[in-house]
Structure 1
């Protein structure tokens, strides 16, 4: 058939020579999602209702909120919350790494001790642990320093050492370390086992393999949940108000117990928690993006050594090179 006969008719939309007798253009009809529109409308209605209540309800007493928002007592409690979060989280991360390595150890004693630790601190509430530590002097009124089953050097009354600040640090750190141990263990297990075997074949020690090969790669898996745990730690500090530690919530409670302005002071504490949590979230997002940016460009220690060995056609067995 001549090419001139295969033309498109603009009048009837048919293509000459089409055996089906039609050549209508296909129109793309977008899918309709009525459920999304209904859900969006409900969300907007709820948001408007909440905003309207916050603005129009005089019982929130926003003038009182503004009065106490930057008060010295509130800022002092906020500072206590911040440094307590930083110190407790730092100790928990270090202790969590140690416990995770113990759980991965082939030594049954170390592994059993780590399992017992995580079982206890994950199985009991943090509030109970804090109250128990605060009253530990009922069990051990005097702490003895010396050699186990040997000579004693000196005795210290437990109440002289276990101040509310120290109890808060110990309680928060020990509890959080149990969760960090599981996070670190999951991150270590996410690293391909073949890299560890290759490093062992090169004769590297277990500590070097863990420090130079496994942990730098596991950090990409460990970092996101660690950020979440840091934010949780910030909020867990509010529990130490039961041991009269003057953190943010306790400072607000002291004020409204005197002025009876409960709701405004709770709003002050909540707003400060939201502000600090938002800053921590931004920091976590930045660290995650920075880590993922170098994911494919970072060369592992074992991989670099193996690539150096291949051009020399050497065989590596049991940590020794054989031509």
Structure 2
């Protein structure tokens, strides 16, 4: 039997030396991405584009007017789509077979036909209805169906079909037990929908709605086919006179990127607002994420240098 070891004779264990793991794949992928971006920049710099012409037309009066009309038709069209889409979603969930069938038929038609076709149908409505006669109002259809109204109807009614499905999915995501509990407390169907169901459904509805808004902003460029003075038609009219086609397309591209970026940031904060109470921690803001990535990169570089 061995003698017991005296505790004083024990050697304390050495401190653990942590060696950071080297992520070579990250550095290789970063180098490849930067190389591709450099090649793209080199190609654009050597392209036959008069880059000095682009900033001249960014704040051109016609371009600014077109960008304003694009923003206006997008906001109004989305408003029509959201309001009508919510109504259609409620109709689709109705137990009345006539109401639900009408809503289904609306969604089926407008989702099954291209937006450009719908715009052309509204714009050329005077070919089959020369006179608009509502009994209390009568006028020629050409005077009523302006390019603006045709664009609003074409974009708004088409968007309503998609918003109906988004709203329906959001409403169905709320547990039916909450609706039953609200009815047991004496709340009407309308009040239950307004106070209980829709506030919770917004967490599901907001993200795809933001995507639909940005998509409509870009889809509004199709309205140049019906002579609506939006951004795409504005730059096309200018380029047809000065023949700076690519330069004016670059101007339109910059404006679309600016508008979509602004609304993408707004969408993020709206989503973050409606996520309160549903998750323990709210998603990081872009500034917080950039700061965290910068700190991680700095620490990783420092650890690699010490190693």
- TM alignment of 1:16-35, pairs within 5 A: 30=21, 34=25
Give the structure 2 partner of residue 265 of structure 1: 248
Give the structure 1 partner of residue 233 of structure 2: 250
CA deviation vs aligned residue, 1:140-170 (integer Å, no higher than 9, x gap): 2222214xxxxxx564321121111000000
More helix by share: 2
Give the structure 1 partner of residue 152 of structure 2: 169
The question of 1:57 aligning with 2:43 is answered: no
Q: Which has the higher contact order (CA 8 A, sep 6+)?
A: 2
Larger radius of gyration: 1
The question of 1:226 aligning with 2:209 is answered: yes
Displacement of 1:28 in angstroms is 6.3
Give the structure 2 partner of residue 100 of structure 1: 89
Which of 104, 108, 126 lines up with 1:119 in the alignment? 108
Which of 1, 4, 8 lines up with 2:7 in the alignment? 4
Give the structure 2 partner of residue 149 of structure 1: none
CA deviation vs aligned residue, 1:119-138 (integer Å, no higher than 9, x gap): 11111110111112111222
What are structure 2's unaligned runs of at least 5 residues?
A: 281-307
The question of 1:76 aligning with 2:72 is answered: no
Q: 1:65 to 1:32 in 2, by over 3 A?
A: closer
Q: What RMSD over aligned residues (CA atoms) do the two structures have, in Å?
A: 2.3
Displacement of 1:30 in angstroms is 3.0
**Secondary structure in 2 aligned to 1:156?**
strand
Q: 1:207 to 1:296 in 2, by over 3 A?
A: farther
Give the structure 2 partner of residue 131 of structure 1: 120
Distance across 2 between alignment mates of 1:258 and 1:32: 54
Give the structure 2 partner of residue 186 of structure 1: 169
Distance across 2 between alignment mates of 1:86 and 1:52: 38
Count of aligned pairs between the two proteins = 277
**Secondary structure in 1 aligned to 2:165?**
helix
Distance across 1 between alignment mates of 2:266 and 2:18: 47
Q: 1:29 to 1:248 in 2, by over 3 A?
A: closer
Q: Structure 2 length as normaliser, TM-score?
A: 0.84
Q: 1:158 to 1:194 in 2, by over 3 A?
A: same
